[in-house]
Amino acid sequence: MDFTYRLLHWYSLNKRDLPWRATQNAYHIWLSEIILQQTRVAQGLPYYLRFVEQFPDVVSLAKADESSILKLWQGLGYYSRARNLHTAAKEIQTLHKGVFPNDYDKIRALKGIGDYTAAAIASFAFNKSHAVVDGNVYRVLSRVFGIETPIDSTSGKKEFAQLAQELLPIKNVAAYNQAIMEFGAVQCVPANPHCVSCCLSDICIANKSNSVKQLPVKAKKTKQRHRYFNYLLLEHKNNIILHKRGSGDIWQGLYEFPLIETQKAVSEKQLLQSADFKQILCQTKFTLTRVSSTTKHILSHQILHARFYHFTLQNKLPLSSKKKYIVVKIEDINKHALPRLIDRYLSTID
């Protein structure tokens, strides 16, 4: 197949030197794939290196406590990836005696691993004939073969998966899968792809029909909702109060300041007069020392509008309220896993 061999030749000349490509260690490959979901290589690489250093194998990751994993993951976002990583490591230790399974179905059954990741691990680590289909692959195939079926439709997923499997070479499966993803990442990029220097330009239907910008097609548009976060930084004698977020929402297991979420943006006066504020502070005497400007933090399906209110407390929180929180030294805040929104805000203040 001309398409396949052209990609393999292009990859041999243009591939980036990345540590997970120089190994067939399934654990390292799995770790890189999870980190690189929703994350650029440049951002993910330092995290990969730190994880490998701190947790060199599946067993060490399985034995770690969740808080240390979340702390190491801090700044990458999509924290469910880290929690699923931990759960899957424990599954490997329990079900497979600490040895990473080499069978696609057994890999696919692990927590947090979907079709793409299972195919990537099976092919990269064990050279199994499973085609990878991620965003880069969708983009390359839709453009080169002129496929207008929406990639987020059931029929589209089936069509692309079948084509991707048909294009696999008999040998060099791992190299080919790496090649098509790399090609989409650095050559056939979403905006302004490098068509002039493309080794596939003469057989690319989108290039011939001037429809590169229209492909791939997506049927559904992501709807984003707005949320309004009012954080209370409650300080008393060099101590500050943190709250651990529970399940069922963003940032599960991460620490934040006491939070009052409102339906819309509120003024300082409205916040201080709200029932939620009075419930948190109860009869505690305080001085409001600072109010931040509004910070916008964009997630995949949500846009957060956050303000930070700094209070100096004259006495400790009543015991009944304190049960919801932990009290830490100000200098120890960064020992806890924090959402990137809070971590970035803290970096801007003294």
Catalytic residues: 33
One-letter amino acid identity for 11? Y
- CB–CB of 274/266 below 8 Å? yes
One-letter amino acid identity for 41? V
CA distance 72 to 68: 6
* Tokens at 133, concatenated: 């289909």
CA distance 307 to 118: 41
CB-count exposure of residue 127 (10 Å: 0-12, 13-18, 19+): middle
Closest CA to 322 of 241, 233, 235: 241
Total length of the chain: 350
SS3 of residue 32 by DSSP: helix
* Tokens at 163, concatenated: 């084509």
CA distance 87 to 66: 9
CA distance 1 to 168: 9
- CB–CB of 189/127 below 8 Å? no
CA distance 197 to 159: 28
Residue 304 host element (H or E):
strand 302-313
Q: How many CB atoms lie within 10 A of CB 97?
A: 8
